[in-house]
Structure 1
Amino acid sequence: MRGADTFTESLFSLRKLDDFVPKSHPLRSIRVMANEALAKMDRLFAGMYEAHTKGGRPSIAPEKLLRAMLIQILYSVRSERQLMEQVQYNLLFRWFIGLAMDDEVWVPTVFTKNRERLIKHHAIVEFFNEVVALAEKKDLLSGEHFSVDGTLIQAWAGHKSFVRKDGGDQDNDGGSAGDFKGSKRSNETHQSKTDPDARLYRKGKTASELRYMGHTLTDNRHGLVVNARVTYADGHAEREAAKIMINDARQAVQDASAEITLGADKGYDAQEFIEACHEMKVTPHVAQNTSGRRSAVADSIASSVGYAISQQKRKLIEQGFGWAKTVGRMRQAMVRGLKKVDQMFVLNMAAYNLVRLRSLAQIRPS
């Protein structure tokens, strides 16, 4: 018998949001881990709002705000306005964030303003650190063998915004700001009006674009990201960021005699970088660059078994970059300014780690 095309709603419903989420849904374990990390940040959250305890409307709970930012990354939602629209009708999003069915959805501008507070108080970095601590608690990190690499992030600014710093309307060769073809431009003489922190940069065969550079340090056991940061884009940024990150990892190792190794590609095969690694008591498992030059990496290191393993493991770092640029939409930053781009990149790496932790839990259940 043909069913009738009718729509009838019940006046009341006894079902909870949790009833609508399948027991095997991947977000369940991710939410548990995220909440465990957020619970460790209670003191930080209290300090963020202690100056606003008297009067005024209550702000968005920072835990809900961070979960909303995570869901935006995990489901590739391109803007806060679109995120708020989807939260309005998406029960899965409401459940993950912690909003009841009858709770009002935030205005996009209010959401963005509260996000700025998280960035100001380094809450995103703290969340990333707590996620890394979860991985360490689960014994998923070696703590001694690492890989490092960098990737380009396109700034949210166009070529036409890249104008002379002195305010001149024309370049030296007569080209106007609107017609830059054939004109000579550099970061020394020009700056973006849209995003002053962005730098004109090219790498390899890529075209010159306004960019930032993202860097990660991964643990070789499972490819989990243990350090992440964004810097200005220039030819020395990768090695300088690598030295900072591996030094932090070296300091975190309690056993000073433990061998710390660092895998990297040929771009890190520079004498000053290799020497810096040795000074930090880090064995540089850097790919040897022998194209018309002598490698700075000793042959005794390159011929070791550990070196071969590091060269194999270091390729895992590309998975994090690929995930952040496709799922997390970090191919082009949707925020402006070094600090904001850095925070969004770090949050992407935290989200990537949560996804990896869920996958690893299925492989080796506790």
Structure 2
Amino acid sequence: MRGTDKRSGELFSYVDLEQRVRADHPLRAIRGVVSEALEALSGEFSALYSGMGRPSIAPEMLLRAMLLQAFYSVRSERQLMERLEFDLLFRWFVGLGVDELVWDHSTFSKNRDRLLAGEIAAKFLTTILELPRVRRLLSSDHFSVDGTLIEAWASMKSFRSRDDEGPGNGGGGRNAPADFRGEKRSNDTHASSTDPDAMLYKKGPGMEAKLCFIGHGLMENRSGLLVDARLTRVSGHAERLAALEMIEPFAERPRAITLGADRGYDAAEFVEELRTLNVRPHIAQNISRRRSAIDRRTTRHASYAASIRARKRIEEAFGWIKSIAGFRKTKLRGLAKVDWAFTFAAAAYNLIRLPKLLGEPS
């Protein structure tokens, strides 16, 4: 049964949380946007819960707590619950009264599958962007796309041959000792016993190969907000395929739009696909080893140079998600769960930037 998103305890405490949070605190503006988005998603939440049984922790509170975990770089849900015990600012943002007990950290694990099944992260991101005061900040004509590696929560020792039926650990929760010297390993013949969805990949020649995923983001160029985010398995074509999937809904209009990207997207097939969608490919030219698919009919326009400058801002989003929100290495396993958390982190990045963009106190 779904719990209520109501703060209690005001009649029995001398501490007024509203007065303890200063009027110009950045979280006030963020909480206003979050409350609007969560209220719009109320019907989605109700569909995920039955009408019987004891009331659960309200999903709105869980999501607000997870936002705080991203904003303040709280490493684990155990630490987040400890912070909620004594931090009045955290209690105010989540919606807990001063006298209310903090729930157990396992509540997140039990409810994550429910929120995952309802695709709440993607809907939360979309709902924030559809709020009238946020929508006016967005560009509908100019976009940028990029991808970033997200290291999986799996050791290289867990990357074992698919034919190996030996013990998967060395006792005590550890992987068994292994010597990989001279052994050729690839995703075709090996898989991680810890997270089978993670795959071995390296960013470039001479660089270290890691078990990882690829996170993709689509940014509008006016305000630098992420309008779509998703996570996929690694492959040489993953970034371009994800880019086409993300830009296609925005390309369904009579007027052409632009898509900026780095030189890794400079491939003839990808450029042709974009032009078929009525998207102008403002992609950095890759002329180091071959002829670029971007020619003078694109580069001669002033808008091309503007897109090349604007596209670099998406690195700021990835930098925040990986360094502040803690996504340099994910703490979840499985493609679906990591995808959910990555999309939720993208929504948190948008929220952290909105107070200044909206001109509200920050």
TM-score, with structure 1 as normaliser: 0.90
Alignment of 1:16-165 (within 5 A): 16-49=16-49, 52-54=50-52, 56-134=53-131, 137-165=134-162
The offset of 1:68, in angstroms, is 0.8
SS at match of 1:178: coil
By how many angstroms is 1:120 displaced?
Answer: 1.5
Larger Rg: 1
Change (3 A) 1:15 1:169: closer
CA distance in 1, matches of 2:51, 2:73: 35
C-alpha distance in 2, partners of 1:279/1:83?
A: 48
Residue aligning to 1:233: 234
Q: Is the 8 A contact 1:163 1:192 kept in 2?
A: yes
The 5-angstrom pairing of residues 257-272 of structure 1 reads: 257-272=254-269
Give the Cα–Cα distance (whole angstroms) in 2 for the partners of residues 239 and 279 of structure 1: 15
In structure 2, distance between residues paired with 1:159 and 1:358? 42
Would you say the 8 A contact 2:13–2:98 is kept in 1? no
Aligned to 1:6: none
Question: Which structure 2 segments of 5+ residues have no match?
Answer: 1-11, 168-175
Identity rate of aligned residues, in percent? 50
- Indicate how the Cα distance of structure 1 residues 362 and 182 shifts in structure 2: closer, same or farther if over 3 A, else same: farther
The alpha carbon displacement at 1:58 in A equals: 1.5
Number of the residue aligned with 1:195: 195
Which residue identity is paired with 1:33? V
Q: Is the contact between residue 143 and residue 219 of structure 1 (CA under 8 Å) also seen in structure 2? A: yes
**Residue 299 of structure 1: CA displacement?**
1.3
User: 5+ residue gaps in structure 1?
Assistant: 1-11, 171-175
Partner of 1:218 in structure 2?
219
CA distance in 1, matches of 2:132, 2:306: 22
Shift of 1:13: 4.8
Q: CA separation in 2, counterparts of 1:14 and 1:215?
A: 48
Q: What number of residue pairs does the alignment pair up?
A: 341
Indicate yes or no: 2:312 matched with 1:315. Answer: yes
Aligned-residue CA RMSD (Å): 1.7
CA distance in 2, matches of 1:136, 1:35: 14
The equivalent residue for 1:333 is: 330
Please report how far the alpha carbon of residue 202 of structure 1 lies from its aligned counterpart in structure 2 after TM superposition: 0.2
Cα distance between partner residues in 2 of 1:258 and 1:358: 31
CA distance in 1: counterparts of 2:109 and 2:77, whole angstroms = 7
**SS of the counterpart of 1:72?**
helix
In 1, Cα distance between the equivalents of 2:180 and 2:28?
51
Would the aligned equivalents of 2:129 and 2:135 in 1 still touch at CA under 8 Å? no
Give a deviation string over 1:126-162, Cα, whole Å, max 9, x none: 1111111137744111111000000000000010111
